[in-house]
Chains A and B, each alone.
Chain A
Amino acid sequence: MEIQPDSPIVIIPAYQEERSIGRLVRSLRERYPYDVLVVNDGSTDRTSETAREAGAIVLDLPCNLGIGGAVQTGFLYARNRGYDVVVRIDGDGQHEVEDIPKVLEPILAGRADAVIGSRFLGETEYRGSIPRIFGIRFFRLLVNVTTGYRVTDPTSGFFAINRRLVAFYSDHYPSDYPEVDAYILMRRLKARTVEVPVRMYVRTEGKSSITAFRAVYYMVKVTLSYLINCIRRFG
Chain B
Amino acid sequence: MNRVTIFSICASAGFLLYILEMVRRRKLREEYSILWLFGSAVILVLSLKKDWLDGLAHTVGIVYPPSFLFLVGILFILLILIHFSIAISKLHQMNKKMAQEIALMKEKTMGGTPGDPSIGP
Contacts and interface: CB of A to CB of B under 8 A. Distances in A.
Interface of A: 39-40, 42, 44, 48-49, 52-53, 57-63, 65, 69, 72-73, 76-77, 80, 175
Nearest to A73: B100
A106 to B, nearest CB: 29
B50 interface: no
Contacts of B121: 42, 44, 63
A39 B103 contact: yes
Contacts of A65: 96, 99-100
Contacts, number: 52
B102 to A, nearest CB: 5
A57 B100 CA distance: 15
Contact of B104 (A40, A44, A69, A80): A80
B31 interface: no
A62 B118 contact: yes
A77 B111 CA distance: 13
Contacts of B106: 59-60
B99 A62 contact: yes
Interface string B16-46: 0000000000000000000000000000000
A59 B99 CA distance: 11
A49 B99 CA distance: 19
